[in-house]
Chains A and B, each alone.
Chain A
Amino acid sequence: MANNQRGGGIQRPNGATQNKICQFKLVLLGESAVGKSSLVLRFVKGQFHEYQESTIGAAFLTQTVHIEETAVKFEIWDTAGQERYHSLAPMYYRGAQAAIVVYDIQNQDSFVRAQTWVKELQRQASPNIVIALAGNKADLAASRAVDYEEAKQYADENGLLFMETSAKTAVNVNEIFLAIAKKLPKNEGTGPQQNIRPSGNETNRTSGNCCSK
């Protein structure tokens, strides 16, 4: 799918680029130290730090993925999981089209906390927000405390995407973001005109409703 995305080297006879750009706001939620920042860092920079610092406030990053002819640009808000920053979270998930709720498969409490986040999102966030549940640190399955089946069942019951991920080994990291990108409405051609912009023209940055209804 990615083979002929490198527009630069290939000259097309009619000179037209065919990419549409869609922009989505995505927020990460979950208890401190479950690996939210690590997941984002893996996804955006392909890196992993054993000593990732706990996030203060929130971090903002962007990454673009290409699905068929559409470029999906994620504007990612990585929130701080420490409980004292809880009051800030609503600001960040407000208007988000997607959320990843993360827990640590070694930590049952973090899974309980994840469920509270899901409830809060279902109550307070945009009604058609796409929510994914990520059971992170899958590389440490030896000390697992949360059953795969249990989490999977919970996700199915609540209509969430679900994957066990590892920021350390990169397992399922790109996949979960891609799965979200695929699930997001892209309204090809049917949406309002300004939602679809040719690539290379990203100057008017709208934070929000691109491509969603």
Chain B
Amino acid sequence: MFSDNDSEIIEGFLCPICRSDEKTAEDLLRHFEDEHSEEKDLISTFRDVFKSAKKKILNNLDEREISKAIESSLSINKSIIRVDFKGPQEIGIFKDHFEYFKAIRNPRLERYATETNKLIIRLNKLLTNRPTDPQQIKQHEQNLVPWIDGKLVKLCPSCAKSFFFTRRQHHCRLCGAIMCNECSHFLSIDESMSIINPSHEYPKPDSSQTDVIIKEPEDTIRMCEHCLHLLETRKEMQDGRLARPFITKLYERIETLKKEVMPDIAMYEKIIKSLYKGDSVYTIADASALRGKIGSIAELLDDLSKKALTLKAQQGSREEALHKSLRMGVIKFIKEYMLELPQIPVEDEIKKIQQKRVMELNQKIERDRRLAQEAFEKYDLCGDISYAATSSKTGSALRTVDNWSGYQEQNQTNANDPLIIQINIVKGYIKQAREAMRFEEIESLEANLKELQHEYWLKTQNN
């Protein structure tokens, strides 16, 4: 009863007459006053002609205004970006500040990136061919990174305490800077390796231990706070990119499943509708196959979301809430879209509907034929009986279209007819599509088949 509708929804300050978008309420009211206040029916017939022309002019105007606005906002950019919050924001001119943001961000990123890269390269050199003897290690390190002359530094740059017998000077192995022992940080060889090569596997110390300073020079690298910070930041970024928590993976899997099943659900509803209409495009078996598929996806979704609940999370934490919402979301989705699928109709019922439809069609054709006949008689055209003849043929055409296989038997001799060959090919395609549950294809193939069959029927009638 309702037409399929995929027309676009338009929204905005739309003129109810010419449907142009006037951008603000004020502009729309003004436009309406100016353009349509004296609207007469006569004018409205000419309106469409002018509409497109006017629209062009309006658009140009808009563009000019926008570029002006952009120019002025660009000049503001150089000092401060000002935004006026006067009441709710209106849709209209907008300015993208992303380029500006990137322009500021990039040099900073680059500064850190180059500095960090330098450290990584040094770290790599420090680790390759690293001697085992402590004395040799020191030599190795000093060869790679020049150490600052200790005489020039009186105070530790980090804690500002003066160096003395008990507070000796130490060098950062990565930048060569000086610091006291307390301000030194140590990175184990394994950790360092994993910074250079993220796939480097090693038994990770548990988190409480990282603060414990290991002072064996053979298996640690001493560095200053600054260098450590750069390395850690980089590592965090890398880990963030590589490791994704299980819950995200779960979520993504669920979302793709949801997205995949929606067209199936729509198709299922379409098949059921078509069955109840008496169409012969789809079969009850199609419906139940698809229903089975949807059902198993529902089960899978259910299982996956249950997994979220088994994940560890502290009671009352946001993490726990997240796990619960994930599960709830899936339950809601299943309830809303998958549980209320229409039932598969009973075979007999569908047969009845199909028969009724054929009957109705035939009745209608009969009625049309009679009306036409009467019209001919009325206008004294009954001498020409060809119309009546064709229309009764049309009646049988419909029957043969629905009962194709019965008809084909009478024409087995025509197996070489290209039309028959084509018909059989299409039938084969339909069978394949059905097996693969590609139901959209079935519909167009069926339409194609009907055309071919009709074509063939016309041909046999002409012979």
Contact = CB atoms under 8 A, between A and B. Distances in A.
Q: Do A and B associate with each other?
A: yes
B1 interface: yes
Interface stretch (B94-102, B103-111, B357-365): B357-365
Interface residues of A, number: 44
A3 B25 contact: no
A139 to B, nearest CB: 12
A201 interface: no
Size bracket of the B interface: 35 or more
A66 B88 CA distance: 42
A62 B13 contact: no
Given A14-B368, A88-B29, A64 B3 contact: yes
B438 interface: no
B2 A65 contact: yes
Contacts of A59: 9-11, 14
Nearest to B368: A13
Interface string A8-51: 01111110000000000000000000000000010011000000
Interface in A80-132: 84-85, 87-88, 91-92, 94-95
Contacts of A95: 16
A91 B15 CA distance: 8
A64 B21 CA distance: 24
Contact of A92 (B5, B16, B394): B16
Contact of B1 (A1, A55, A87, A94): A1
A57 B7 CA distance: 19
B9 A4 contact: no
Nearest to B90: A56
A18 B28 CA distance: 40
B130 to A, nearest CB: 58
Contact of B12 (A56, A66, A94): A56
A87 B24 CA distance: 12
A206 B43 CA distance: 12
A11 B394 contact: yes
Nearest to A4: B360
Contacts of B447: 9
B328 to A, nearest CB: 13
Given A55-B11, A57-B14, A85-B25, A62 B368 contact: no
19 contacts: A3-B278, A3-B357, A3-B360, A4-B360, A9-B450, A14-B372, A56-B11, A57-B25, A58-B13, A58-B16, A63-B2, A63-B5, A65-B2, A66-B2, A87-B25, A91-B16, A205-B48, A207-B44, A208-B44
Given A6-B277, A84-B25, 14 more contacts: A3-B357, A11-B397, A12-B365, A13-B368, A56-B13, A57-B21, A63-B2, A63-B3, A63-B5, A64-B3, A66-B1, A87-B29, A92-B16, A207-B44
